[in-house]
């Protein structure tokens, strides 16, 4: 019988996954399968993707060093913003970039929810011991 005990503890690989997701979000406007001229002409779309990617990357680094609940809540909110971005900035008809941002945003939200669930009952001292 399998046991899902490994999901009950916040592990450092989750923080590394968050950093990888941040890097993928930063690079997403330049992924090769999309219509490059249409996307590269809209600087707000690129700026939004780079800013969100850097925030996700930075939050994951902070979680790796000093874990706090506000980082996980912020990660969830940033992931939700990435999901909403194609509709807010009007590139929801761009196909692949919308798919990339929706998918990456959903993974960021799921990762943030998992981490928040894992750390919900921890006190401040236990959270500070994360990664040691």
Question: Does residue 7 belong to any structural domain of this protein?
Answer: no
Domain count for the chain: 1
What domain range includes position 111?
12-128
For 28-68, where are the alpha helices, taking DSSP H only? 36-40, 43-65
Question: Does residue 51 belong to any structural domain of this protein?
Answer: yes
Question: Does residue 122 belong to any structural domain of this protein?
Answer: yes
Question: Does residue 39 belong to any structural domain of this protein?
Answer: yes
Whose structure tokens read 């506000």? 70
pLDDT digits (tens, 9 = 90+) for 24-33: 999 988 877 6
Question: Does residue 3 belong to any structural domain of this protein?
Answer: no
Work out whether the CA dihedral 91, 92, 96, 97 comes out positive or negative: positive
Say which residue, 35 or 22, is predicted with more confidence. 22
Angstrom CA distances, 69 to 1, 10, 117, stand at: 32, 12, 10
Is residue 35 packed enough to be buried (19+ CB in 10 Å), middle (13-18) or exposed (0-12)? Answer: exposed
| pTM assigned to the model | 0.80
């Amino acid at each position: 019988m399998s046991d899902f005990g490994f999901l009950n503890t916040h592990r450092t690989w989750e923080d590394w996954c968050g950093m990888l997701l941040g890097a993928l979000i930063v690079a997403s406007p330049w992924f090769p399968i999309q219509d490059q001229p249409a996307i590269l002409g809209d600087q707000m779309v690129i700026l939004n993707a780079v800013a969100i990617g850097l925030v996700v990357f930075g939050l994951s680094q902070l979680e790796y060093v000093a874990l706090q609940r506000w980082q996980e809540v912020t990660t969830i909110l940033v992931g939700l913003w990435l999901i909403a971005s194609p509709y807010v900035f009007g590139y929801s008809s761009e196909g692949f970039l919308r798919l990339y941002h929706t998918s990456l945003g959903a993974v960021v939200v799921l990762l943030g929810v998992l981490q928040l669930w894992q750390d919900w009952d921890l006190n401040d001292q236990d959270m500070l011991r994360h990664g040691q």
